Chain A
Amino acid sequence: MSLQLDFPAVLERWPSFLAGAALTLELAFFATVLGALIGTLAAVGRGSRSALIAGACKVYVEAIRNTPLLVQIFLVYFGLASLGLKFSAFTVAVAALTINVGAYTAEIMRAGFEAIPRGQIEAAEGLALSRLQIYWHIILLPAIEKVYPALTSQFVLLMLASSVCSQISAEELTAVANYIQSDTYRAFETYIIVAVLYVILSLVMRAGFWGLGLVLFPRRRRLGTPL
């Protein structure tokens, strides 16, 4: 039982690895932004007075959370194709990832909304603010601040999950790894390098979110206390 590893042979492919990592981050970025938007809308929709809207949002969330991402990606991929629409693998990947992370974000945001004390909403109502204004000024940012760690984790998980997009030929990091290992016959080394790269990407993302938190939450930046 011998293990002969040859890392240099694989490491010399670093431009490809870098390109794959960049695409992974791109996928994660677009899916995060769009998914956060959709998730927030779905969370607001869950609280809607219209039973139809609230029900539709619940169906969306439960359907996504109880099916694998791989199946969702294939459904989006083949669904779009059967409608005659031709999109790049990148676009399809972003669409599927957005739909997926939107559902998880909706649940997290909903918990954030429910954590806002009723008294503050009453105070806002007493000041004649409209329902929409109350969401925007009083509920949204404090809710995001409360659930920020959960949101950050979710989006990092999204970046890791983007590896599944290799199955529809999006050229992200795992797809690059698959190609390189079949080219160099050094599968183990390739995937070790890629694993390390993903860990680095996770750290980069967490750092990015930490910085974003400083910008979004001035009170926390000044006082250092949780909400």
Chain B
Amino acid sequence: MGGHLNINHLMFLGQGALWTIGLSVIALIGGGIVGFVIALARISPLKSVRIASAVYVQLIQGTPLLVILFLGYFGLAAVGLKVSPLVAAGASLTLYVAAYLGEIWRGCIQSVPKPQWEAAEGLALSRTQRMMKVILPQAIRIATPPTVGFMVQIIKNTSLASVVGFVELMRSGQIVNNSLFEPFAIYAIIAVTYFAMCYPLSLFSQRLEKRMGRGRSNLAPA
């Protein structure tokens, strides 16, 4: 039954792992930019903008990522665009990540203590200035642990890009398995690889969270 796992297979898997990281970064950056817009839209003074962004978030969060990936893949084809699996997966993941990061960041912006909003208003800063100089810097501090935690989700979610043909770690494993026929061993290796990528981030996120808990008490009013 097939050959044995050799260094070439491992290098192929390693390449897949690199593409996993690459796709994760694309999703994080793309999703981060769009997500930032969504977060601001969710707290916009304009009701129509608030509702539109809320609908977007609800739709994305109510749909499985796999279905979103299929929609991206077939949808782009339906409008006549021939795109590579990387672009299709990247676009779908961007939309997906944007919804979740947008919600996380909205929550963080809104959890900046009310006295801060009022102090900024009291200093006659415009809305933009309030956001840029007072609220967002503090929101970024609050948002860092959950954002790092969500990066773990992104890395795990890239595994679904394999289903639309993008050759990341999961798909590399399937390809290797097609010649070796040792599925359990191969997927065990893949699981360990994902763990090696995700666990340090998880620990980092937890450490940030603990440090946040300590640091916050310094922000309490006198």
Contact = CB atoms under 8 A, between A and B. Distances in A.
Q: Do A and B come from one complex?
A: yes
Interface of A: 1-3, 5, 62-63, 65-72, 74-75, 78-79, 82, 160-164, 166-167, 174, 177-178, 181, 187-188, 191-192, 194-195, 198-199, 202-203
13 contacts: A3-B78, A63-B195, A65-B152, A65-B198, A70-B170, A78-B184, A78-B187, A164-B64, A195-B71, A198-B62, A198-B64, A199-B58, A202-B62
B64 A66 contact: no
Contacts, number: 111
Identify whether the interface residues of B are mostly helix, strand, loop, or mixed.
helix
A119 to B, nearest CB: 22
4 cross-chain pairs, A with B, having the tightest CB-CB distances, nearest first: A187-B74, A163-B64, A199-B62, A66-B198
Contact of A71 (B59, B64, B159, B202): B159
Task: Give the bracket for the number of chain B residues in contact with chain A.
Answer: 35 or more
B64 A67 contact: no
A198 B63 contact: yes
Contacts of A195: 59, 62-63, 67-68, 71
Given A66-B195, A70-B170, A71-B159, A188 B64 contact: no
Contact of A188 (B78, B156, B194): B78
Contacts of A164: 64, 66, 160
Contacts of A1: 79-81
A82 B184 CA distance: 8
A194 B70 CA distance: 11
B56 interface: no
A7 to B, nearest CB: 13
A66 B78 contact: no
Given A66-B194, A192-B71, A166 B66 contact: yes
Contact of B183 (A3, A67, A74, A181): A74
B67 A194 contact: yes
A160 B59 contact: no
Contact of A67 (B71, B77, B81, B194): B194
Contacts of B159: 68, 70-71
Nearest to A188: B78
Identify whether the interface residues of A are mostly helix, strand, loop, or mixed.
helix
A199 to B, nearest CB: 4
Interface of B: 58-59, 62-68, 70-71, 74-75, 77-81, 152, 156-157, 159-160, 162-163, 170, 183-184, 187-188, 190-191, 194-195, 198-199, 202
A67 B193 CA distance: 9
A62 B59 contact: no
A5 to B, nearest CB: 8
B183 A68 contact: no
Contacts of A178: 70
Given A62-B199, A167-B163, A67 B191 contact: yes
A68 B67 contact: no
A160 B59 CA distance: 12
A72 B63 CA distance: 21
B70 A68 contact: no
B184 A79 contact: yes
B160 to A, nearest CB: 6
B202 A70 contact: no
Contacts of B75: 188, 191
Nearest to A75: B187
A8 to B, nearest CB: 17
A121 to B, nearest CB: 23
A174 B66 contact: yes
Contacts of A192: 71
B67 A70 contact: no
Nearest to B80: A1
